[in-house]
Structure 1
Amino acid sequence: MREHLDSQLTQRALVGRAQSLGWHPERIDVLDGDLGQSAAGAQTRDDFKALAAEVALGHVGIVFGWQVSRLARNNAEWYQLLDLAALFGTLIGDTDGVYDPRLYNDRLLLGLKGTMSEAELYMMRQRLNAGRLSKVQRGEYVQRLPTGFVRLPDTRVVQDPDPQIRHVIALVLAKFEELGSCSRVLRYCKHHDIRLPRRQVSGPPPGEILWRLPSEAAIGSMLTNPAYAGAFVHGRRTSDPTRHHPDRRTPAMVRRPRAEWQCIIHDAYPAYISWKQYLANQARLHDNAQRYTEHGGLGQGAPRDGAALLQGLATCGLCGHRMRVSYRPHVHYVCDGLYRTVAEPACARLDGASIEAFVIQAFFNAIAPAQLETLDEVLAQRQRERHRLETYHQQQVSQARYDATVARHRYEQVDPAYRLVAAELEREWENTLRALRQAQEAAERFAQEPDAPTLTAEQRRQLLNLSQTLPELWHREGLRHAQR
């Protein structure tokens, strides 16, 4: 539209035709504000709305168009314009002739042109969709990649060459597997001053990596994106015409369940986690959601604060609903899932103390065979955790030092006569130096933390005999349910 102007010139030449039919130049208005806009709807076409309003006011004698049926690509708006033109005596003209919508034959011909125009748009959309789906099925469809992947010139996809980006993404995915919830991973990142990478897709620096403060939305986006499991997926989000907003050009996009995804191709990308782990993460997120209104409180829950040990975790063995806690006169676990959903009697009301005592003893029995292995795994996990954090801080310092060096070189190369440019570059250099100092301080604070807990001989003996000593530790005064 911007480079090939022949179509615009041809359409504006219709002014001469209107003059040849007797209209004075001062009485001719050209409405070209909708150029480049789809005629499938009038929501974003202000000139079409203005034309319909002028026709309804009886201010228009004739409407010219190169192909008048393209004034509207749907029959609803096209016939509305024809009804207004017939009511107020407005003529319709195109390259083939001049039509009077009040006459039966002319109205029939205009209606046929509108129907063919709408069908043409439908066929065009069908062909485009068929071509796109064909590329999707072959795995050749190019879609936007999440942060952590890079597309090479030959269209192959590899993990980002920046080890810092790969390390942080792997760290977030590993911590969710360990901690089990987005909020806990978020608090972990906040506690250790971990920032998350984000590749800009719009704005002044498109394609640049920005390091942002962690958020639950950013962590959830990583966990729910199947690309990190190496899968190419098409159809995760599709448009929903029922949610169309008048101010939006396209319908709202909604997430579809995995059963409705149009295409899944495994091992299309180099994976950060396995597909099995991805499915386990989705199941854990689903259980953590606690969507009582949508799912009736079914499924495994998440621990909640309260005076009861199993609050948020206890599930009814009869109906599968999560049980709530009643504190009067003492702790009880009550299942009223059927009462809330289908008005049936409550399933159970169980004494809290006896249920908790049974669960605690079952837990002690379950860990009895794993004594020495438990100690080794705990210590190894602490070492792996510290190594990941140490690597992260080292990479942060290296990146900040590189950014400061680049900013210094840019400032030293600028002509001092350009004071405004020099001042801006000096400000950028100061910002990078400030970021470098903050990264170094964070690394120093981490280095000052104890490397590993110091275990006395008595503590090591207790850990090696965990099944015997844990009950004593469990019932120690001052220990909260969250710690248990």
Structure 2
Amino acid sequence: MTEPGKITPSHRARLAVVYIRQSTSAQVESNRESTARQYQLQTFAAELGWPAAQIRVIDQDLGLSGSGLNTRSGFAELAAEVALGHVGIVLALEVSRLARNNADWYRLLDLCGTTDTLIGDADGLYHPGLFNDRLVLGLKGTMSEAELHVLRARLNGGIRNKAARGELRRGLPIGLVWGEADGEVRFHPDAAVTGAIRAVFERFAEMGSARRVWLWFRSEALPFPTQANGCCDIQWGTPSYTKIHQVLTNPVYAGAYVYGKTCQERYIDEHGEVRKRLKRLPRADWSVVLHDHHRGFIDWATFEANQVRLAANTRPIRHDGGGALREGAALLQGLALCGHCGRKLVVAYSGRNAAPSYACPGDNLANGRGEACLRVGGQRLHQAVAAAVLAAVQPAALQAALDAAEAGDSAAQAARVQWQHQLEQARYQAQLAQRRYQNVDPDNRLVARGLEAAWESALHAVQAAEQQLQRAEQQHPQALCAAERDALLDLAEDLDAVWSAPSTSDRDRKELLRALLEEVLVTHDKDAHAVHVTLRWNGGLISDLSIALPRTRAATVRTDEDTVALIRRLAAYYPDAVIAGVLNRQQRTTATGLPFTINRVGSLRTHWGIPCFVPPAQPVSGEPLTIRDAAAVLGVAPSTLHRQLNDGLIAGEQVTPGAPWRIVITAALRAHFAGEAPEGFVPIVEAMRRLGVSRQTVLQRVKRGELEAIHVSQGNRKGLRIKVSEPTPDLFDDRKTARG
């Protein structure tokens, strides 16, 4: 196997490729001796008889694993050169450098055996085309793959064993740091950082929505701490919704040590390559969950309740209740269910005031069409449910008022505390910048100039923090005074006034309903013309309500008879679109006060049995034509007919004011539109000059029949021509002659 006689002149006529690889970047940096030994294989290739010009080193795969899950450009280049027959021998320190998976390894062996390429390592030379050599190479490849599995199993076993004791040090979320003892986790020493994290949980307990917590941070202009990894300094910036959501869903903040939340799985991509990706596991599949491992910002029970609340805030499954609170006026959004089929009622807003209503999305097939189980207005429903809820909480009204006051003070105090922490941090940074500037040599202006700029920037940050703290104190008073508390307690005795107050938002009302009610079943009794409501309270109690629906008065709503008669006359000549335009120009409306459209005109025609307009295939002789059709017959533009109709030069008719004009084609009308101007007809400008009158006077004489006019449609000067016998003498010219 190791005899040099395996090398032939044919092998030396081709390349000697030295393949160099290390599994990780850390090995490249730390195990430099191994890398140097691999590069020394160039000397071994020269000793075997290859000239230096034919020795090629492939080291593009330094820092890449040979497990087959990474794309190795160097190994792909090596396989391509072997397949093309350009390589005589492949040298590696050991065969595990070439591949640690059988797929790549046996592919390379097949190519080398086919192209008569040798493989060499520290143990000897092998020819994959020979059975004994291929057997040894196959065993070495299998041992390399098994060795990788054993090494990985040993490492993972040690990691899991340490994680099971809660001592494996992984990256901690912002606000927590590792202590000196094994597995010890402490709060961050910076009170501003821990205060920001506590504010997230406190505001979520009050608001119940991650988005509302994020909006609260934005409205208060509070910064939020971030940290790229455990070694970097804390950076403060505008919080994002993702950061707030990550804080609320991270179990480490609840004092738990967890490991194995993710796993790596293999898959085949669209190119047929084996890849690996990170997959998040459900909580039941986490490898290690150690409760009460360290002090947390909240306890585990609160964390579980927060997860349930966050899950309920997401878009609910079809026909299920829940969902985050919205700003709409539908107070039973997410609570109302259909009493007939159990589906969640959907909310719709209609009318000028956007009044809410509830409808069941399940349609039952009846009478050949879909009919909704339930559709009911929300106004009376809201009043009845609100009255029942206020009556239930009346005994606890005073305590609720005090809790509301304390909650308001708590939110304002949290914002002030955060800005006080920011101010303290800014002042510390300013003092630190000042000490650095004072300790530098004044003559070293390059360093002093930079430290002076840093000190000035820190002073600006202090000024901004002071202004923000002052603004927060002005917007949120420190606490309610005695008079304000007395007024609040007096107001609490009348919950109806508080419920109906403009300062109470629909979201606040929904919060109260969600806190007390689990679901509201609505059933429509058409026979009794009423709605039966079943309130299922949190805790299991059930209340029944009956709400009488308003009975609509039987009022006959009909369109004016004049409008119907006009539509009947217009339908004989025009389509619905033209009729709608005529009616709107006359400022006519429907019976309900709406403007006319094509559909509304069509509905009226259908109701009154008025036939639709059908244009004739051929124009009827002697019947009036539209402007467009008449213009085509006379050989002029439609705008010309419109202009002469407005001037009164030709005759036309309208079915009603605002309707399109219609013209009867007569011999006189055809004679009026001549191809060329006859003798004695001059343009209107010339007629004005000869007659000594204005254009309007000339047109008036034409309409009275005192002057004859035609329209010329050919030649360079098209337009109206007036017949003037001879020029009228100018009286002013005679006076000038006499004076002369």
Letter in structure 2 aligned against 1:173: F
Secondary structure of 2:239's partner? coil
The CA deviation at 1:251 is: 3.6
Q: Which of 300, 308, 312 is residue 330 of structure 2 equivalent to?
A: 308
For 2:363 and 2:277, how far apart are their aligned partners in 1?
Answer: 35
Note closer, same or farther for the CA distance 1:479–1:448 as it changes in structure 2 (3 Å cut): closer
**In the alignment, which residue of structure 2 is the partner of 1:136?**
163
**In the alignment, which residue of structure 1 is the partner of 2:153?**
126
Q: Which of 256, 261, 270 is residue 295 of structure 2 equivalent to?
A: 270
Q: Report Cα offsets for 1:356-403 as digits up to 9, x if no partner.
A: 344323321331221211122122223333332332222211111110
For 1:77 and 1:160, how far apart are their aligned partners in 2?
Answer: 49
For 2:346 and 2:263, how far apart are their aligned partners in 1?
Answer: 37
Secondary structure of 2:87's partner? coil
Secondary structure of 1:233's partner? strand
**In the alignment, which residue of structure 2 is the partner of 1:342?**
none
For 2:69 and 2:345, how far apart are their aligned partners in 1?
Answer: 52
**In the alignment, which residue of structure 2 is the partner of 1:175?**
203
Whether 1:106 aligns to 2:106 is: no
Secondary structure of 1:22's partner? coil
Larger RCO, structures 1/2 (Cα 8 Å, 6+ apart): 1
Secondary structure of 2:358's partner? strand
Aligned-pair identity in percent equals: 40
Equivalent residues in 2 for 1:312-331, closer than 5 Å: 312-315=334-337, 322-327=344-349, 331=356
Whether 1:199 aligns to 2:198 is: no
The CA deviation at 1:460 is: 3.9
**In the alignment, which residue of structure 1 is the partner of 2:658?**
none
Note closer, same or farther for the CA distance 1:318–1:140 as it changes in structure 2 (3 Å cut): farther
**In the alignment, which residue of structure 1 is the partner of 2:119?**
92
Q: Report Cα offsets for 1:246-303 as digits up to 9, x if no partner.
A: 9x9984333222111111101111111110100011111111121x5xx546452212
For 2:331 and 2:185, how far apart are their aligned partners in 1?
Answer: 48
Point out where structure 1 has 5 or more consecutive residues left out of the alignment.
340-344
For 1:390 and 1:42, how far apart are their aligned partners in 2?
Answer: 52
Equivalent residues in 2 for 1:8-157, closer than 5 Å: 8-41=35-68, 43-155=70-182, 156-157=184-185
The CA deviation at 1:10 is: 2.7
Equivalent residues in 2 for 1:338-417, closer than 5 Å: 348-353=373-378, 354-417=380-443
Which entry has the higher C-alpha Rg, 1 or 2?
2
Secondary structure of 1:29's partner? strand
**In the alignment, which residue of structure 1 is the partner of 2:696?**
none
The CA deviation at 1:409 is: 1.5
For 1:418 and 1:73, how far apart are their aligned partners in 2?
Answer: 58
Q: Decide whether the 8 Å contact of 2:359 with 2:374 is kept in 1.
A: yes
For 2:485 and 2:441, how far apart are their aligned partners in 1?
Answer: 68
The CA deviation at 1:313 is: 4.6
* Comparing 180-189 and 383-392, the one that deviates more: 383-392
Secondary structure of 1:370's partner? helix
Q: Which of 230, 235, 238 is residue 213 of structure 1 equivalent to?
A: 238
* Comparing 413-422 and 362-371, the one that deviates more: 413-422
**In the alignment, which residue of structure 1 is the partner of 2:252?**
227
Note closer, same or farther for the CA distance 1:211–1:132 as it changes in structure 2 (3 Å cut): same
Letter in structure 2 aligned against 1:333: Y
The CA deviation at 1:11 is: 2.3
Secondary structure of 2:308's partner? helix
The CA deviation at 1:44 is: 4.6
Point out where structure 2 has 5 or more consecutive residues left out of the alignment.
1-26, 365-369, 510-740
**In the alignment, which residue of structure 1 is the partner of 2:216?**
188
Q: Decide whether the 8 Å contact of 1:335 with 1:347 is kept in 2.
A: yes
* Comparing 445-454 and 22-31, the one that deviates more: 445-454
Secondary structure of 1:368's partner? helix
For 1:144 and 1:402, how far apart are their aligned partners in 2?
Answer: 27
Aligned length: 469
Of Structure 1 and Structure 2, the greater strand share is in 2
Note closer, same or farther for the CA distance 1:448–1:328 as it changes in structure 2 (3 Å cut): closer
**In the alignment, which residue of structure 2 is the partner of 1:428?**
454
* Comparing 18-27 and 358-367, the one that deviates more: 358-367
Equivalent residues in 2 for 1:160-171, closer than 5 Å: 160-171=188-199
The CA deviation at 1:133 is: 1.1
Secondary structure of 1:211's partner? strand
Note closer, same or farther for the CA distance 1:315–1:424 as it changes in structure 2 (3 Å cut): farther
Q: Decide whether the 8 Å contact of 1:305 with 1:311 is kept in 2.
A: no
For 2:445 and 2:337, how far apart are their aligned partners in 1?
Answer: 69
For 1:422 and 1:433, how far apart are their aligned partners in 2?
Answer: 16
Q: TM-score, normalised by structure 1?
A: 0.87
For 2:467 and 2:206, how far apart are their aligned partners in 1?
Answer: 28
Q: Decide whether the 8 Å contact of 1:243 with 1:252 is kept in 2.
A: no
Q: Which of 270, 288, 296 is residue 313 of structure 2 equivalent to?
A: 288
Letter in structure 2 aligned against 1:470: L
Q: Decide whether the 8 Å contact of 2:313 with 2:325 is kept in 1.
A: no
**In the alignment, which residue of structure 2 is the partner of 1:259?**
284
Q: Report Cα offsets for 1:111-166 as digits up to 9, x if no partner.
A: 22212211111111111111111111122211111111222222322112222222
